Chains A and B, each alone.
Chain A
Amino acid sequence: MSDQPLWISFVVGFIVLNVLLIGMAYMTWAERKVMAYMQDRIGPNRTGPFGLLQPIADAVKLIGKEDLIPKFADKRIFVIAPLVSFVTAPLAGLVIPFGDQVTIAGRQINLYATDINIAVLYVLALSSIGVYGIILGGYASANRYSLLGALRSAAQVVSYEIALGLSLVGIFIISGSLSLVDILNQQRQTLDLFGTGLQIPNWFIFYQPLAFVIFLIAAVAETNRLPFDLPEAETELISGFHTEYSGFRFSFYFLAEYISMIVISLFAATLFLGGTDGPIADGAWWLILKAMIFLFFYIWLRTTLPRFRYDQLMGIAWKVLLPLALLNIVVTGFVRLAFNNQLW
């Protein structure tokens, strides 16, 4: 636990949340631009240079829309549901370490809001609360398509959360800690590969390549992105759980989806790619660069792969990812035991 005063943590947390919101706005812009170039189009280019003001225009448009609540909707739950998604999405960003410490006005300030000793479980717990926004929103809309989207989402998130959590167990076995700061600090050493003098960074992707692949797939499913966006599947469910949502209530879901993409990218970069560790000049920029690679990967997937069929989706989770994750845990455990706490 850090010994800094509580108010500094609050300030750092406030800054992190706002940076996430701005990052989200430009994530939508980047997604449109990248998709456009991949599809041989130009993308937004009218509002500001390179269309950089497009997110602001979108926000103004969404605020201006009529706020509709269906007649037969369960009104209280209908109002609360998008907020559940929106509130839980950025909170996971609070445990991600953006660096060590900086000294501002004679005070040592940690570059993370808090270092809790179960940070990884905290992130998983938040994502499992976030799914209630989708389920309840779909239920409260009193619309069959929305309900179907909600049911799909419930089944999908519960299934993939198991794969997501189990893929991280290998990292816990190696690092012996659930704290992201500890996990990061362990990755900042250099690794002498088999004593040959070949230096590689001590990133956990080199120990856990299988877990990395499982985590990546499960993370895409967990954020309901293509090719796993069965809960909203425009072509069959008319965008599923948020069919009945309009205006700013819809944008809460939209914000939540993009923020959780950013957060899970930061999370993946910290867990597997050494976070702020880089070849020269360690710092938050390396973390941001690595997270952007993941975000690009998300967009790339979206433009490349068609949506899965529902039974394929469940089949991947239970018949492929889960056994592989369990195998990974067993192998990691044996290796750790055999090498007696020091790998290679």
Chain B
Amino acid sequence: MTPEVLVFDILAVIAVIAGIGVVVSRNPVHSAVALVVTFVNLAGIFVMLRAEFLAAVQIIVYTGAILVLVLFVIMLVDMDDLPEFHGGAPLQRLSAIVIGLILLGEVAAAVLTRTVVGQPGPWNEETIAAAGGNVQVLGQFLYSGYVLPIQAMAIVLLVGTIGALVMARPDEPTTRAGGRTTGTISLGHSRGADLVALPSGAPPARVIHREDMRDGLVMVTSADAYTEHAAWAGTDVPSEPGAAEYPTGAGIGSEENR
């Protein structure tokens, strides 16, 4: 057994075990981590096949970008909120099996036509070295012979991005502004302009009711009876002039609503 075969065996076995782990682990984050392990080992196999560029792209695109986004979403979801994460409805299982078989068939067809039937492509190590290397050959192929498919893919991705943006957008701009319940602290925030201006001036003084007084203390009868009572206003002072501009909140402690 040469060292290369040994290294390949190690990489392949780990990749397969991790691949099984993706399917069987109960925690979606563990599945994602197992997928990372699979990808890294696949990249190692690509390197052994002298496809270093493919290995780097595999890591950068799939491991570094796509899986990070997948984890991003998974981490926010609690495991207990996903009762049908494993198993699922019979229709889901059936469609999963069918699609899996179709994909397996496609890969098998590609592998069989190339190796068993014996139609190797024009490239081997010598021709690639003569053309200047992996990266150069890939670049020339992708951007000369396959320019149109590349452009078509780019357009599909662009459409997908725009579609996602449209779907994520709230329905009406007005509901966005009205639905905002929390303001922002930063005064220079550009988005603060669509909020209602903060009321100025002192809030109205609250009238303390005789029946609430017990030995000089104010006994509160309901939870929000005095919640907006300003600390600086006197206890028995009626409404000051200028307090009228202050918008009284609906029902909270105003005299009429008690």
Contacts and interface: CB of A to CB of B under 8 A. Distances in A.
B33 A77 contact: yes
B135 A178 contact: yes
Contacts of A74: 27, 29
Given A74-B27, A77-B29, A150-B75, A131 B56 contact: no
Given A74-B27, A158-B69, A161-B64, A118 B59 contact: no
A224 to B, nearest CB: 15
Interface in B20-64: 27, 29-30, 33, 36, 40, 43, 52-53, 55-57, 59-60, 63-64
Could you say which interface size class chain A belongs to?
A: 20 to 34
Given A77-B33, A135-B68, A147-B75, A128 B60 contact: yes
A118 B71 contact: no
Contact of A121 (B53, B63, B76): B53
Contact of A125 (B33, B36, B56, B133): B56
19 contacts: A77-B33, A117-B133, A121-B53, A121-B56, A122-B52, A124-B64, A128-B59, A128-B60, A129-B63, A131-B68, A132-B36, A139-B71, A151-B75, A154-B68, A154-B69, A154-B71, A158-B65, A161-B65, A178-B135
Across the A-B interface, the 7 shortest Cβ-Cβ residue pairs: A128-B64, A121-B56, A125-B59, A118-B52, A139-B75, A154-B72, A125-B56
B33 to A, nearest CB: 7
B29 A139 contact: yes
Interface string B67-83: 01101100110000000
Contacts of A147: 75-76
A116 interface: yes
Interface string A304-333: 000001000000000000000000000000
A117 B135 contact: yes
A129 B134 CA distance: 23
A57 interface: no
Interface in A88-141: 116-118, 121-122, 124-125, 127-129, 131-132, 135-136, 139
A132 B70 CA distance: 12
Nearest to A123: B56
In terms of DSSP, what is the predominant structure of the interface of chain A?
Answer: helix
Given A124-B60, A151-B76, 11 more contacts: A118-B134, A121-B53, A124-B64, A125-B59, A125-B60, A129-B63, A129-B64, A135-B68, A139-B75, A157-B68, A178-B135
A128 B76 CA distance: 21
Contact of A118 (B40, B53, B65, B72): B53
Nearest to A140: B29
Contacts of B76: 147, 151
A285 B71 CA distance: 42
B56 A118 contact: yes
Contacts of A136: 29, 33, 71
Interface string B130-159: 000111000000000000000000000000
A165 interface: yes
Contacts of A127: 64
A136 B233 CA distance: 52
A122 B56 contact: yes
A151 B75 CA distance: 8
A178 B134 CA distance: 11
A289 interface: no
Interface in A157-181: 157-158, 161, 165, 178
Contacts of A178: 135
Contacts of A157: 68
